[in-house]
Structure 1
C-alpha cells in the first residue's frame, strides 16, 4: 500500500529533515491541489501530518484537514500532536479514516487501549518512531526530541495484545534523508509481529526501495516532491 504524504504548517506543504523544525523545506502553498494530484494518479490513501497541531493542539488545522478529505475522496490517515481522546474524535468526525497516535501511546497506554476498543483497530494507527541505541531500537517522543525507555518490541507486544493492527514505524535517522529504508529493521518487525500491518517511513529514494521493502505499506514524502519518482510509478513498483 502506497501512502503519499503531506506535512502541513500554516496551510503550506512542507517537509522536515529528521523531524527538525529548523530544517524545513517548503513545497507549495496548496495542499488541496497536491492531494488531488495524488488521487488523480491513482492513490487511494493519503498520509497527512499536521505539524502545527504537533506543536500546539490549539493550532490544529482541522478545517484544512476536512477540506482535503472532502475534496479528494482519498482515505486519509492523519495525526500530529494527538494528546487526548477528544483529539481523536475531532479528526474522525472531520472524516479521517484513521488517526495516528504517537507519544500518547507511551505516556497513557490505558487511554490508547481504550481508544482501540472504542473505535476499532482499523481507525487507530500507532506511530513507532524509533531511535537506535546501543542495545536496540527505542520509541521516541515529543516530536522526536526525546527517547523513551520503551523498546520497540515491548511497545508492539503491549499493544498487539490490546488489538492493535496498524503500526507506522519510522527510523528517525533515515527520515527526510533520501538514503533508503532501514529494511533490516522492518524485516525484523515483520518476523516478530507477522499479523501487524506495518507501514514503513523514512528514507524512500528510489523505486527499487519500494519493490524490495519488507513492510505492508510505505509513506512517501520527500521523494515525490524532489521528483525521484511519481505516485503512479510508486504504485506500479509496489504492485510488482
Structure 2
C-alpha cells in the first residue's frame, strides 16, 4: 500500500480543511517545498498535492506552483484540484507531475475522462469520487465538495467499465480533517464491488492503527494529512506499516 503524505494548497500556503469546509481551514506552513523535503527525508516516494483554490474555482489556480514544486523534488507527485480540461492534464504532466487526479468531470462527463485516460494512460490519471453519506448512501460531491451531484457512488463507478480505469481516490468528506478514522465499511464495499481498482483511501486517517487496518483490507493507497501535521502519525512508521504493497486480486 502506497502512503501519500498530502499537501493542500490555499493561496500558496499548506492548509487542511475540516470536513471540506473552506471557512474552517488551518494553516500549517507557508513553505510547501520544505514540507515536501520532510516527506522525502522520511522515505516517502509519493506525495498528493491539491490546489484547493482551483478545486473551488473550477479551473487551475496553483498549477504553476505545483509545477515548480515538481521541479524541486524527487518525489512522485499526484496532483488534484481544478482539473476540468485536457490542457490542464497535459500541462501538469509536462511540468513533472506523475499522476493527475480528475474529480468533477468523472461525474459530469465520464466519456471525456475515459478518453483522457486512453490518451495519457491509466497510470497517469486517477479518478476522484468524493462522497457524503446521505441516508447511508454514498453521494458524490463535486466542485471542490461545494455541490452534491445527485449521483450515488455506485452509479458513478459503473460509468467506468473494468479495464478503463485503474486508480480511484475516494474521500468521505465528512471525515476529512476530522480525525474520525477512515470509512472502513464504505471502502470494504468498494473493494467488494470493484476489486479491479486500485483504491486510495482519503479522509479521517488518525494514527498507525488506521494505516494498518487499511493495509490489511487491501487498500491500494492511503492519503494522510492532518494526522501528520498534528504529530499523531509518524510518516516513517506509516510507510513501514503500509509495506509490502498489497497486489490487486
The TM-score bracket by the shorter chain reads over 0.9
Q: Are residue 71 (structure 1) and residue 75 (structure 2) matched? A: no
Deviation at 1:20, TM superposition (A): 0.7
**Aligned runs of 1:156-171 on 2, under 5 Å?**
156-161=157-162, 163-171=164-172
SS at match of 1:66: helix
Contact kept? 2:206, 2:227, Cα under 8 Å? yes
Q: What do residues 74-129 of structure 1 show as CA deviations (whole Å, max 9, x unaligned)?
A: 11000101111111111111111111111111112221111011111111111110
Residue number in structure 2 paired with 1:103: 104
TM-score normalised to structure 2 length = 0.92
Structure 1 stretch 67-76 or stretch 200-209: which is displaced more? 67-76
Q: Find out whether 1:116 has 2:117 as its counterpart.
A: yes
Q: 1:17·1:176 contact (CA, 8 Å) conserved in 2?
A: yes
Equivalent residue, structure 1, for 2:153: 152
What corresponds to 2:3 in structure 1? 2
Segments of structure 2 that go 5 or more residues without pairing to the other structure are 245-249
How far residue 58 of structure 1 moved from its aligned partner, in angstroms, is 5.9
Other structure's SS at 1:159 match? coil
Give the secondary-structure state (helix, strand or coil) at the position aligned to 2:182: coil
Give the number of equivalent residue pairs.
240
Contact residue 60 and residue 83 of structure 2 kept, 8 A: no
Residue 135 of structure 1 and its aligned partner are, at CA, apart by: 5.6
TM-score, normalised by the number of residues in structure 1: 0.95
- Runs (4+) off by over 4 Å: none
In structure 2, the CA distance between the partners of 1:163 and 1:185, relative to structure 1 (3 Å rule), is same
Q: How does 1:84-233 map to 2 (within 5 A)?
A: 84-134=85-135, 136-161=137-162, 163-213=164-214, 214=217, 215-233=219-237
Q: Distance in 1 between matches of 2:20 and 2:230?
A: 18
The question of whether the paired residues in 2 share the 8 Å contact of 1:77 and 1:99 is answered with yes
Q: Distance in 1 between matches of 2:163 and 2:19?
A: 30
Provide structure 1 residue ranges, at least 5 long, that are not aligned to the other structure.
none
